[in-house]
Each structure stands twice: as structure tokens, then as C-alpha cells.
Amino acid sequence: MVCNVYAFLVGIDSYPPPLPPLKGCINDVEAFEQYLRGCIQDTPDYALPPPHRLTNEQATRQAVIDGFQTYLTQAQSGDVALFYYSGHGSQAPSPPEFWQIEPDRFNETLVCWDSRLEGQWDLADKELASLIAEVDKRTPHILVILDCCHSGAGTRSALPSMATRQVPADIRQRPLETFVSLPQGGSPAIASRSAQQPVAQNLFPKGRHVLLAACREHEEARELLGGDNYRGAFSYFLLETLQQASGPLSYRDLFRRANARVRSQMAAQSPQLEATHPSDLDQPFLGGASARSRPYYTVFYDQTAGWSMDGGAVHGIPPLRAGAAACPRLALFPFNTASATLQDAKQAIAHADIIEVLPQLSHLRIVQGDEHLADSQAVFKAVMTAVPLPAITVSLAGEETGIQWVRQALETASPNGQPSPYLQATTETAAAHLQVLAEAGTYLIRRPADASLLVNPIHGYSSDHAAIAVRQLEHMARWLTVADLTSPAASQIPADALQIQIYQGTQSDPLRQSQIQLAYEWDANQNRWQQPTFRIKLSNQCPLTLFCALYDLTETFQIISLLEGGTVRLDPQEEVWVAQGNPIYGSVPKALWQQGVTEFNDTLKAIACTADFDATLLEQDELGHPITRAIEPRSLGRSALNRLMQRVMVRNLGMTPETDETHYDDWITNQVTFTVVRPQPTTAISPDQAVDLGYGVTLHPHPSLQGSVRLATLSQGTRNLKHPALPPLLRAEPQITSPLPLVKTRSLESDLHVLELENITQAATVTSEHPLTLFAPISLDANESVLPLAFDGEFFIPLGRGRTRGNQTEILLERLPDSSHTGTRNLGGSVRIFFQKVVAQKLGLEFPYPILAMVEGVDGEPPRYNADRAAVMQRVSSAQKILLCIHGIFGNTQSMVVGAHQTQIEVDGQSNSLLDVYDLVLTFDYENLNTPIGDLAQQLGDRLTAVGLSPGHSKTLHIVAHSLGGLVARYFIERHAGNRVVQHLIMLGTPNAGSPWSTLQDWATAALTIGLNSLSSVALPVKALGSLMAAIELVDVTLDQMKPGSDFLRSLADSADPGVPYTVLAGNSSLISLPDAASRHRVMQLLDRLGRAAVEFPFMSQPNDLAATVYSMQALPSQRSPSPQSLEVACHHLSYFTEAAGRQALGQAILEASRFKDKPDAAAVSQPPPTPAPQSLSDTPPHPPSKFWLLGLLLLTLTGVILGIWLFQRQSEESESSTSAIVGCRVCAANS
């Protein structure tokens, strides 16, 4: 019975704006389809129906769903169903119904071509799981391959030329009914997730399948230049491993080999292998559909192309590289030659070079023995005898003064003054294996994929220092060549013949994890860390006798032969223990550990050959040491493998055939990467003296907190956690928020980002009055902040703030989470604190405030401003319709302008940007923390007058004001004759009756906490983080003028009717309620855990936008003419200009303002002048009418009754109403 392989392939390079394009996704799909066609056509038991392929605009969300439901569902028992996706990955907020199974309350998603268009959505993990379950009904073998990011990068950014397959999270709140399908009973399906997150998965249907994914959820899936085309790094190395294998590999073996290849090039990308049934990992790839390769190729004559071979790229023939000095070489034999004789060089009748590699075929040039090929009808067998080793590419960047020395050193690096045979300079950073950056008089050698430094910097530009840099590059090039060394696919040795098994300690079973980690363990008896021990076994699983070598490739670019004598002979089914089975000690070199490195990667690479060979040829010392062994190999015959291995080190052999070569080797490779973890030492927290944590990091004493502390890497900090290390909000946009290393080491993986507190007691004594203070040797720019946070087992808690102190950063931890919630097994508590750098948007204009500027363009972010007074005055004189934007309590007008620009409204039957309605757009940015609002209003009037907008002007001026900006505008209109300047005021989120928050810090802390935990009906926009962090750092800034009943608000309420139309947009974040009492109770718990009474959510059950109640925003005298207009909007204080609901409401308000005819111009105002402003806001304002005193008394009484009920119900913890009061005020996060 022939089984079918149904392949559903999706690749998206070009997305609709603003999603960034990719370069290698369609190349990935085409290469994988070619591989399938090549490998399955040689397998008699399997057939490949036409693959279903979607690229770019074809790959809509509905088309992807249809591909599962109409194409993959054809697969039956015994068939194979393959889903391959190459494109952007992202995240999106989970509906509240999913929260109990989503620790971070976000779904992992695939971004289809139309996912971010209006009315469309990403394909969520739960939808993918549901679709897989539907395919699984007929029990085919299911494989899912995803080459995309699983989330926002929490890593240091790659170099600008290195594309990553990640876009920011889709923060739109998605209705439950838009999900593709639900299982019976209405519970959502959930897709395969990391084994670290098994919560409640058994409650949801999931089809049996194997998943290969490009990276961990906090990492980035990167692209590279593979050959001549851009490719996904994971796809490229996965496919290369498949093509170079001589037969089927199990998923476990395939993953280990491909993972080692990826990790050797991309330090911060760790592929993942998962299976719903672990036993499936030992199945062959595609269930065995890939054919075992023949031990030879077939050569024939084509009338058009000449001599050709039936092996191409899909069969593992390496691509020809531009500028290569030599080509792959073949030895040709008569077709009746037995397979065993193909290794005998004396039996070859001709030799040929491969001059063109196609997907299925290769074209040849006969270089010797063409007299034996006179019969063009004859067919010959061929084996690969020589493969040119590709030069390692290095990009040169930075200061030309330094780079020119390196360029010269590369051109004369050989002993005879010739160019380096190992290295090839390139201007394509994406194509480079290595990079030399000349910066500030220093040479930096780093990996382009993640900008990790590979060796210590070389200080000073000179020919000698450039030569040192080139020698180091050549050393690395030899190591990289060995790491990538693979045999041709045409081999009689099965791909899985040579097995490497690692046994930890004295365990009797080998480690079977896809990624192996060996950690130092604390020995309490000896009071020291003990090195991990392991044993290695090699076994020959094929019927051939093999000669085997095993090497350890270390991170310091050392290559060590692990077998005594270099090689060992293994007969069929024979095995050998390395070092006679004695324990091998894993280590992190002390010199690196003392520099802060806590993780060290080793790659075990095995080579097996049908003939003995000199294993010492590949050995080299650590970087910095010369090659000390003899160049001449020990005498083992003139074999192709020995020549290849010698060329890895000295590259002094040509490609012309050697007539005295005795045999052609048949050989294969295998490799496994493992990581040794050596934690930093712990230090007791002292009550009276600072603690040195090493590397310039110090922890100041705390009078009450007890426990121990140490620094750790991100991977150590996230190990064994049953939740994400960081909330999705902090992984979405690396240019705005990224992990902040307290200590930078040689690479991203070993940077120390985490502060671990262990066995802690008295955590509640850490408060804002008695913070736990940490100093780190890092400096922050003026627009950068530090966000320390931790997960308490249920919620992400912001722990404090940071501030720059000279060249250091002081981090104040003002609270610690309750360690009893973290789930650790310590006698005391354990807390892992992560540090995130947050970048705020800069206005881009010089101080001093206030600044009245005009917008000259919104073709990007930030918009382009011009604050030159003469230029603004000239534009004002020629404009008739003008818009003025005034920002709120913090931040600036940039987000307002961008949001208005993105708002589309219909004018005269055509869709236009909201800004296009006006001839000119002005902005007013001001110092808003220490300047009284009345003074700001006066400054506004002065700036407008200075550019020609004085009282009685003949133009139309509309003001759009956010938050505090609305109060500034009102005071200008009602107290400074602004009613003769302004024709319409639109206020968004303005607390006209005040806000109950006592300080900016309290408000920002609550907003940030709810946003981090995705507890709002609208997700917090990443760009709002900078403003929130800036507010958190303003410890002593109060909101006295904005408090209900303040002198300022009372005086403003008593103003005479200005006769100016007002429109109020009032955000109501409580329009969407949480699904159940448990969710509402969790919100209450979260706010309680912030640890200060001042952050108690103050609104109770009143509709609000987090900063103010809807009542407060709408609190304008109703007797005014024209009457104030008001509209409730489903957004919150930070999302008026980012959420579709807020922008739509703004557009409607602008249209209404444009149609308003009661006041054609300011000069037509004939009403009495407004009440003069008091000389000082501290002056006693006129008394309000008695009816307002009665109303206030009634409201006060009612509030007291409600508060009493609420406190009683909260104490009993059984009331739904008390928790719903908190729930009703969830933040609907977005941008200011």
C-alpha cells in the first residue's frame, strides 16, 4: 500500500504595511518543496500528491484555515500530514475565558498575510491546535514545522541587517466568537506549548503530532544568507541536515544535529522539539517517507546540457559559491562496478567537476579520462572524492582608519604573502559568519547574528594589531569549518549508524532531552559546588566496520580529540565508552566564570569512516595558542578524508586528482551540543554593610530582610519556571523594551540579567520607605528607565524604579513579591528579579518648554516638528483652518499627532487623514509637573499671540487636548480670553471634576501592573511604557490641583460661559467585564499585592478610564450655550489615540466641529468678557450655590455607605460586588 505525504507549505515575505517585510520565507518553502519531491520520489512506499502552497497575499487567514480543513484532512491512517510555516510570529491578548490556561494571558500566534487588516486576526495557537485535532481524526502522522518567532524578542537586538521573524503583539481585544472553532462544551482548544507550561492542557483536545520550532518563546527566529539566497536560519540548517544525511533520521537525532548547527552560528536562537506523545520523537522523519540514499550517483549524457548527474541540491550536493577556486569532484566508474569497489581509486575510469547544481540534477565537466566516455549512451556510477572547503566570510565595519589595516592583513595573511585561505571579506553583514568592528580605536570581533563578542577587544589600530585580529579570525574559521563538516549524502553508511549517548553521573539510562544541560550542584556537606559528571558511549549500529573519532568543540574555539589514539575501530553493533567509562567532568572555565560567564557550550562531534584516518589533524588549542602539532599526518594511506581534514588546518593542497590515491573514503558525521551551567556564588544579605556581588554590582544593606543573593543569566532565571519569564508586553518591541544586563560578558547568553534572592524572610519589610538598593555599573540615557519586576506565581509585579548615579544605575526595589506564591521548595522563599530597559520617545526639539511648534510631516515616527517662531508665524498667516494638539499629564504630543494621522474620516465622499482636514497642525508641549495649570494657560496664550493667533483673529482654531491638557485649554478659554481665539475644544480623558489619585507614581504603578498582567479589556501599548516609567520615577509629585474639590477646579467651575463649543470623549474601561468571580477576585489580589494602601484602586464601581471617572470627565455646566457634547468610548486613559474606538470617536468629533456654524469666527463673539482670573490660585474662589453643597453632602453620604458595604464584603471574601467594583475599572491599555 502506497502512503501519501500531504504537504501544506506557507511562506510570507511581503506583508501589508506597517508589518516589516522578510526575505527568506518563500525561499524556505521552495527549498523544502524541492527536498520533498527529491526524497519521496525515490521511496516506493510513499507518494507526494501536489503540495498545497500559499505565498504572500495567498496566505490569508481563511486560506490557511481552509488548507487544514480541505487539504490536510485528506490524510488517512498511514499517510503523513505536514504543515510548514515560514513567516512572522507574534502574540495577541487572550480572551478572559482562556486566562486559567494562559499564565501570561496572551496567545502565541502565526501572522497570516491579512492578520492585521481590519476585521482579521492572527491564527492563534489554540486555533492551530483545533485544526491539528481535526486532521488527526483519521490518525495520519502529523508534523508541524514553524520557522517564526514565538513572541517579542527579550534579547539584545541583532545587527540591523539581520532580519527577525517577529512583529509586535496585536493588542486589539479579540472576541471569543472569532476563534476558528471550539470543542464540544464550548471550552477553547489549546495548541502545543512548551513543556514548561503544561497547565490544564489535558482538558483540551490536541491532535497527535510532532513540532519542530525555530526558537524559544523569548528568542528571535533570524534570517541569514544561505548560499546565494536569504533563508530562515532554522530552515536552512534543518534542510541541510536532512539533505546531507545518507538515510532517514529520527526526529530526536535530526533535531540534535540541526540544533548544533544553528547554535554554532546563532548563539541566541535555540530550536525546540516537542511531541504530544514522546515516543514519536524516535520515529523517522516524516514517518519514514524520506528515502535512504544510494551509495553512488548516476552519471549520464544529456543532449542539451552535456554530462550530468542525478544528484542535486535536494540530495545534499553543496551549492557552488561565487569566486570559489575549485569545484566538487567526482570519480566515475563503469555502471557494473560493485558498491564495495567504488572506494577503490584504482578502479575509477574518469574524474569530473560539478559546474552547476540544480535542485534535482548537476552538470559536470570531465577533467580526466574523457577517452573512456566516448559512448554518450553509456551510464556510469560516481562517488564524491573532494569537496572544496568554503571560506568563512567576515564583514568589516566601522572606522575606515582601523578597517584598512585589517583589509591589508587579510590580503597578506598566508606565509607566502598571499590572501588568507580561510577568510573571505564581504560587505553583506547578513552573509557573514564573523564581523570585525573598528570602533573607538578598538577592534571587536563578534558574531553578526546577535552582536556577541567572541574574544577580548584588541586596543589600538596598527598593522600588528590587525594581524592579531586576522590570526584570531582564522582560528575561529578552522573551528567553524569543523563544526559544519559533513559528508556527502551518497554513502553506504546509514545516517543513524553512529550513535552518541550521554549518561549523567552513574545513571543507567542515557539522557534523551532534545537539549542537554549539566549543572553544578551544591554539596552541603562539603560546602561547595560540585562539577557535573557524565559518561559518553559511542556505538556502531550498522553492518559495516567503522573507524570512529570523537571531538569536543568548546566555546573557546578549542578542538580536543577525546579517544585515546585518536580513533577506535567499531565492528557492527559494537560500542565503546570514552575514557573507559570513567566520569568526565563538565566545567565552565574558571577564567570565564570569574568574568561572569555561567554557561559553557560543548559540541561533541563524531566522525566515522570505513577506513582508518588521522584524528589528530583537526585538533587545535584554545584561541590565542598556535597550532603546535606536526603538519604531516601519520601514515594511514592517501585517503580523501585525511586530505580533507588536513586542508581544514593548512589548506595547502590543490584540487587536481592524485594518481597515487589508494581509496575513496566513505564517512559520516554526527554531533550533539550540551551546556554546562555553573551558577554564581551566593552571598548573604547584610543588615549593616554593602554586599559585593562581583563585576561592580553591589547590594546595599537592609535592616530587616534576611536571605542570600546572587546574579544569574536569563536562561538560569527562567529554568524550571512554569510560566513565562517576562510578560508579552515586555517582549513585543525590542527597540522600546529589552532585557537589561547588570553585567555584560562575552555573549548574550552569558550576560547576567537576573537577581536571585533565596531563602528570604521578612520580605514585607522591603518598602518605599526602606527599599532594597542595588547599584550596577551601567549607565542609562536621559530617555531610558529601568523596570525591575518578578513573578509571584500568579502575577507579574513591578518592584520599583531606577535612576542614574554618575556612571552607575541605582535600582530601588520598593516591594518584593510574597515568595510563598512562587512554588519553590526552599525552606525560605525564592524570588527571581528581572530587569527591563524601557526607552521613552523623545520630542526631538530643544528646551526650554513651553514649545509651540508646527507639524511638517508624519511620514514616520516621530513626526517632524518645526518650532521656529518666524516659520510658524508665516504658516499661520496663510492658513485658514488650524488644529492645535495639547498633551496630558505626562508625555508629549507625538502620539497624539501620529494617532490623528492614522485616523481616517470621510470628507466629500473621500477618505482622508484627520490631519488633512486642516491647513496647519500646531502642537503645544509644556512642563507639566511643577508649573501651575493657570500659568500653563497663560503661556499657551502668549505663544499663540506670538505667532499671530491673538484674540479676534479671523481664522478657525480647533483644540484637541488630552487629560491635563484639557484643563490647560479650558483655563485659557475661560480665564484668559481664549474664547476669542478658539472656535472648538475637544477634550479626551480630561478630569473636569478631578481625579482621586494622590500621586503620579500611584497612578502609573497601578496602570503598569494591570497592563503587565493583561488584565484589561484592551492591551497596554508598548510605547506607553516609557511614559509610565517616567511617572513612577516621580516619587513626590502630587496631583493637588486635580484632586476633586481643589481650589483650582472650584474656580474653574465658577467661570462664566465662554460660548465655545466643548466636546468630551470619556473613556469607559469597564464596558467589558471579566468572565467570572475568580477572575474578579484575582484583580483584587493583584492590587493588594502592590503593598501600599495608596495604590488601592479608588473608583469602586464607577465607570472610568483608569485616571478619572466618566462622571468627572463629563462634569461641565449643562446651562452653557452651546451645550457641551459628550461621548463614552471603549478605551482608557492611554489608548484614545491608539485604539480604533478612540480614533473613530475623535474623527467623529472633528467632523462635528467642522460642521458647527454657530460661531463662524472668533471676532463674532459678542458675549460679556469672562470673569477675570484670580491673581493666585490660592485665592478663595466664589462660593458655589447651595444646591451644589447639598448634592455634595448627598454624594458623600452615599459614598460612605458604599464604602462600608465594600469593606465588609471584602473582609468576608465572598462578595461578588466588591470584586466587580475593582473589575469595573480594569485598565484598557494603550498609548498616550
Q: Is 755 in contact with 711 (CB distance < 8 Å)? A: yes
Report the distance separating Cα 108 and Cα 799, nearest Å.
27
Q: Is 1085 in contact with 794 (CB distance < 8 Å)? A: yes
- Strands (DSSP E) contained in 589-629 are 599-609
Comparison of pLDDT for 319 and 68, the residue scoring more: 68
Report the pLDDT value the prediction gives residue 1165, as an integer from 0 to 100: 38
CATH architecture, domain defined by 392-483: 3-Layer(aba) Sandwich (3.40)
Report the pLDDT value the prediction gives residue 184, as an integer from 0 to 100: 43
Torsion of CA 485, 489, 495, 497, to 10 degrees: -80
**816 CA to centre of own chain:** 27
pLDDT over 60 at 122, yes or no: yes
Query: For residue 67, which amino acid is it?
Result: G
Comparison of pLDDT for 863 and 1166, the residue scoring more: 863
Q: Which pLDDT tens digit goes with each residue over 1049-1071?
A: 999 999 999 999 999 999 887 54
pLDDT over 60 at 503, yes or no: yes
pLDDT over 70 at 1222, yes or no: no
pLDDT over 50 at 34, yes or no: yes
> Which band of pLDDT confidence, cut at 50, 70 and 90, is reported for residue 1178?
very low
Q: Is 266 in contact with 158 (CB distance < 8 Å)? A: no
> Which band of pLDDT confidence, cut at 50, 70 and 90, is reported for residue 818?
confident
Rounded to 5°, angle at Cα 133 from 129 and 139: 140
**Pairing mode, strands 851-857 and 864-866:** antiparallel
> Which band of pLDDT confidence, cut at 50, 70 and 90, is reported for residue 841?
low
Report the pLDDT value the prediction gives residue 448, as an integer from 0 to 100: 82
> Hey, which residues does 1062 pair with through a beta bridge?
985
DSSP states along 1147-1191? HHHHHHHHH--S-SSGGG--SPPPPPPPSSTTSPPPPPPHHHHHH
Report the pLDDT value the prediction gives residue 223, as an integer from 0 to 100: 81
Comparison of pLDDT for 826 and 1004, the residue scoring more: 1004
Which range is least confidently modeled, 259-268, 946-955, 1068-1077? 1068-1077
Average pLDDT over residues 38-67: 90
Report the distance separating Cα 434 and Cα 595, nearest Å.
23
Q: Is 610 in contact with 547 (CB distance < 8 Å)? A: yes
Which range is least confidently modeled, 181-190, 586-595, 640-649? 181-190
Quickly tell me which residue has 550530468 as its cell.
Answer: 308
In the chain, % of residues over pLDDT 70: 77
- Buried b / exposed e along 998-1035 (16+ C-beta atoms within 10 A): ebbbbbbbbbbbbbbbbbbbbbbbbbbbbbbbbbbbbe
pLDDT over 80 at 3, yes or no: yes
Comparison of pLDDT for 1185 and 150, the residue scoring more: 150
> Hey, which residues does 920 pair with through a beta bridge?
882
Q: Which pLDDT tens digit goes with each residue over 413-429?
A: 887 788 888 888 887 77
Q: Which pLDDT tens digit goes with each residue over 482-502?
A: 888 877 666 778 888 899 999
Report the distance separating Cα 1124 and Cα 1115, nearest Å.
10
**Pairing mode, strands 423-426 and 521-523:** unpaired
Neighbours of 1120 (CB within 10 A): 16
Report the pLDDT value the prediction gives residue 715, as an integer from 0 to 100: 74
Report the distance separating Cα 58 and Cα 38, nearest Å.
25
> Hey, which residues does 250 pair with through a beta bridge?
284
| Total-model pTM | 0.68
pLDDT over 80 at 650, yes or no: no
DSSP letter at 894? H
User: For residue 401, what is its C-alpha cell?
Assistant: 582608519
Which range is least confidently modeled, 4-13, 50-59, 699-708, 718-727? 718-727
Query: For residue 555, which amino acid is it?
Result: E
User: For residue 1101, what is its C-alpha cell?
Assistant: 464601581
Report the distance separating Cα 958 and Cα 513, nearest Å.
65
Reduced 3-state DSSP string for 255-296: HHHHHHHHHHHCCCCCCEEEECCHHHHHCEHHHHCCCCCCCC
Burial class (CB in 10 A: 0-12, 13-18, 19+), 260: buried
Q: What is the CATH number of domain 851-993+1045-1072+1103-1188?
A: 3.40.50.1820
Which range is least confidently modeled, 181-190, 722-731, 764-773, 807-816? 181-190
Nearest one of 314, 283, 139, 159 to 223, comparing CA atoms: 159
pLDDT over 90 at 82, yes or no: yes
Report the pLDDT value the prediction gives residue 1160, as an integer from 0 to 100: 42
Cα-flanking dihedrals φ and ψ of residue 35, to 5°? Answer: -60, -45
Q: Which strands form 691-694's sheet, in the order they lie side by side?
A: 691-694, 697-699, 772-776, 808-813, 800-805
Grouping H, G, I as helix, E, B as strand and the rest as coil, residue 334 is strand
Report the pLDDT value the prediction gives residue 1226, as an integer from 0 to 100: 27
CA distance from start to end of the chain: 63
Q: Which pLDDT tens digit goes with each residue over 462-481?
A: 999 999 999 999 999 989 88
| Range ranked top by mean pLDDT from 81-85, 612-616, 894-898 | 81-85
User: For residue 924, what is its C-alpha cell?
Assistant: 503645544
Report the pLDDT value the prediction gives residue 697, as an integer from 0 to 100: 92
Query: For residue 582, which amino acid is it?
Result: N
> Hey, which residues does 498 pair with through a beta bridge?
540
Quickly tell me which residue has 477646579 as its cell.
Answer: 1049
Average pLDDT over residues 960-968: 95
Nearest one of 1141, 1123, 1121 to 1131, comparing CA atoms: 1141
Report the pLDDT value the prediction gives residue 1077, as an integer from 0 to 100: 60
> Which band of pLDDT confidence, cut at 50, 70 and 90, is reported for residue 103?
low
Looking only at Cα atoms, what is the longest distance across the chain? 117
Q: How far is CA 900 from CA 960, 1127, 1145, in A?
A: 10, 18, 11
Comparison of pLDDT for 1005 and 83, the residue scoring more: 83
Task: Answer whether 3-288 and 851-993+1045-1072+1103-1188 agree in fold.
Answer: yes
Q: Is 380 in contact with 298 (CB distance < 8 Å)? A: yes
Q: What residues does each domain of the chain span?
A: 3-288, 297-386, 392-483, 498-677, 683-839, 851-993+1045-1072+1103-1188
Reduced 3-state DSSP string for 504-535: ECCCCCCCCCCCEEEECEEECCCCEEECCEEE
Q: Which pLDDT tens digit goes with each residue over 674-701?
A: 999 888 888 899 999 999 988 889 999 9
Report the pLDDT value the prediction gives residue 150, as an integer from 0 to 100: 56
Cα-flanking dihedrals φ and ψ of residue 618, to 5°? Answer: -95, -5
Report the distance separating Cα 1193 and Cα 395, nearest Å.
75
Comparison of pLDDT for 61 and 255, the residue scoring more: 61
Report the distance separating Cα 118 and Cα 911, nearest Å.
15
Average pLDDT, the chain: 79
Four-residue CA torsion sign, 1130, 736, 848, 853: negative
Comparison of pLDDT for 325 and 1204, the residue scoring more: 325
Report the pLDDT value the prediction gives residue 829, as an integer from 0 to 100: 59
Report the pLDDT value the prediction gives residue 908, as an integer from 0 to 100: 75
Report the distance separating Cα 347 and Cα 343, nearest Å.
9
User: For residue 784, what is its C-alpha cell?
Assistant: 531610558
Report the distance separating Cα 305 and Cα 731, nearest Å.
52
DSSP states along 71-116? IGGG--TT-EEEEEEES-EEEEEPPGGGGGG-TTSEEEEE--TTTT
Nearest one of 1165, 1123, 830 to 981, comparing CA atoms: 1165
Rounded to 5°, angle at Cα 739 from 733 and 740: 130
Report the pLDDT value the prediction gives residue 1207, as an integer from 0 to 100: 45
Burial class (CB in 10 A: 0-12, 13-18, 19+), 408: middle
Comparison of pLDDT for 1146 and 489, the residue scoring more: 1146
Report the distance separating Cα 568 and Cα 176, nearest Å.
62
> Which band of pLDDT confidence, cut at 50, 70 and 90, is reported for residue 157?
very low
Quickly tell me which residue has 497575499 as its cell.
Answer: 57
Nearest one of 1065, 1226, 1028, 1225 to 1141, comparing CA atoms: 1065
Round the CA-based radius of gyration of the chain to a whole number and report it. Answer: 35
The yes/no answer on whether domain 3-288 falls in CATH 3.90.1150.10 is no
Q: Which pLDDT tens digit goes with each residue over 387-409?
A: 777 778 999 999 999 999 999 99
Rounded to 5°, angle at Cα 180 from 178 and 186: 85
Q: Which pLDDT tens digit goes with each residue over 426-452?
A: 877 777 889 999 999 999 998 887 677
Query: For residue 100, which amino acid is it?
Result: Q
Report the distance separating Cα 155 and Cα 738, nearest Å.
6
> Which band of pLDDT confidence, cut at 50, 70 and 90, is reported for residue 656?
very low
Nearest one of 507, 491, 532, 551 to 672, comparing CA atoms: 551
Grouping H, G, I as helix, E, B as strand and the rest as coil, residue 546 is strand
Q: Is 713 in contact with 680 (CB distance < 8 Å)? A: no
Report the distance separating Cα 209 and Cα 143, nearest Å.
6
Comparison of pLDDT for 192 and 503, the residue scoring more: 503
Helices then strands, counting H and E runs in the chain, come out as 22, 58
Q: Is 329 in contact with 386 (CB distance < 8 Å)? A: yes
DSSP states along 1007-1041? HHHHHHTT-SSSPPPGGGHHHHHHHHT-TT-B-GG
Q: Is 1020 in contact with 1229 (CB distance < 8 Å)? A: yes
Report the pLDDT value the prediction gives residue 224, as an integer from 0 to 100: 80
pLDDT over 60 at 1199, yes or no: no
Burial class (CB in 10 A: 0-12, 13-18, 19+), 58: middle
Q: Which pLDDT tens digit goes with each residue over 1093-1136?
A: 333 455 546 788 878 889 999 999 888 999 999 999 988 888 88
